[in-house]
Amino acid sequence: MSKQDTTPGTAGAPDDETLALAHALFDAAREGNSALLASYLTAGAPATLTNTAGDSLLMLAAYHGHPETVGLILQHGGDANAANDRGQTPLAGAVFKGYTDVARELLDAGADPDAGTPSARAAAQMFARTEILALLG
């Protein structure tokens, strides 16, 4: 990666190459590209990386229904309970979209069904996700 921009007023701002890599990682999470994510996470990219809306790699993978990618991010230190800037958790996102297999991955990793706004439990009740409600206990 290239050196950080040292222009006055931009100290600490990521350079274009760093931003491009971050966007590629967020796209990989959305698309379920576990192979690309695995290579960067193994090389030290943070599994807790978030975008400007506070959406983590885990949130994006969960919301887009990729259980294998969710598991990969969790194995590399992703936080199953990290809420985005709107207070939404990965589990609530998976419940909203009806992804039972993703919900199971997150619950197995310790996701709290009552965390966030709305909580995963509330979303499951609101959208009559009976299979997921059974998982929540």
- Higher pLDDT pick, 11 / 99: 99
pTM of the model: 0.88
**What pLDDT, on a 0 to 100 scale, did the predictor assign at position 137?**
85
What's the whole-number mean pLDDT along residues 22-49? 97
In a domain, 101, yes or no: yes
Domain containing residue 108: 16-136
Count of domains forming the chain: 1
CATH number where 91 lies:
1.25.40.20
Let me know the angle formed at the C-alpha of 42 by 45 and 63, rounded to the nearest 5 degrees. 65
Residue 2: pLDDT band with limits 50, 70, 90: very low
Q: Which two tokens stand for residue 64?
A: 């887009």
User: What are phi and psi for residue 56, nearest 5 degrees?
Assistant: -85, 170
Is the CB of residue 79 less than 8 Å from the CB of residue 56? Answer: yes
In a domain, 35, yes or no: yes
